[in-house]
Amino acid sequence: MSTAASPRLPAYQIAPNAIWLWTLQGAISSVVLIGAALVLAALSRPDWPGLLRLLATVAPYLAVAYAVVAVLIRPRLRYRTHRWEVTAEAVFTLTGWLEQQWTIVPVARIQTVDINRGAMQRMFGLASVAVLTASSKGTVLIEHLDAELAGRVAPDLATRAAAVRDEAT
């Protein structure tokens, strides 16, 4: 279930190492984009149509501008806006820095809880907790927690969900 507003922010921020993960991801995408822009600029020819020539000329500058945002600005903004909390009643997440999304999952709706650790997450000691529900929304992620914390949160959530189901029967 998503809402447009919430009475308060979820209590916890994700792990600070998420900033470094996002910085590395931004750097990788920036290198690829700058490389492509430089190739385009190098291959441009005077007989190309005006708009294409203009694009080939400004592409490296646009790619560098993207790199500044992707490496220096976006990771810190994402860190400030990604929050999470688990209470006795629900799992709350807040994600997004341009478009924020609140997600509230009642513990009673939880079907399974998984821990995911991608290769880059492992480099920074991070993990994500995936909370699967029966809703059409599917899986809700609590992304980029400290791996040790994720290892405690996931079993706790599964236990809480099982207890709620047992009480209902």
Domain 2-14+83-168 class? mainly beta
pLDDT score at 85: 94
CA distances from 95 to 71, 100, 101, 145 (A): 19, 6, 5, 13
CA distances from 84 to 31, 92, 99, 104, 150 (A): 32, 5, 16, 10, 12
CA distances from 21 to 17, 76, 143 (A): 6, 11, 12
Nearest to 111 by CA among 88, 134, 138, 89: 134
pLDDT score at 6: 46
Using only C-alpha atoms, what is the Rg of the chain? Answer: 21
| pLDDT tens per residue across span 104-152 | 889 989 999 999 999 999 999 999 999 998 776 778 899 999 999 999 9
7, 11, 13, 14: CA torsion to nearest 10: -110
Distance of alpha carbon 156 from alpha carbon 29, whole angstroms: 36
The pLDDT of 157-166, averaged and rounded, is 86
Higher pLDDT, 124 or 101: 124
Q: Are 128 and 146 in contact (CB under 8 A)?
A: no
The pLDDT of 7-29, averaged and rounded, is 93
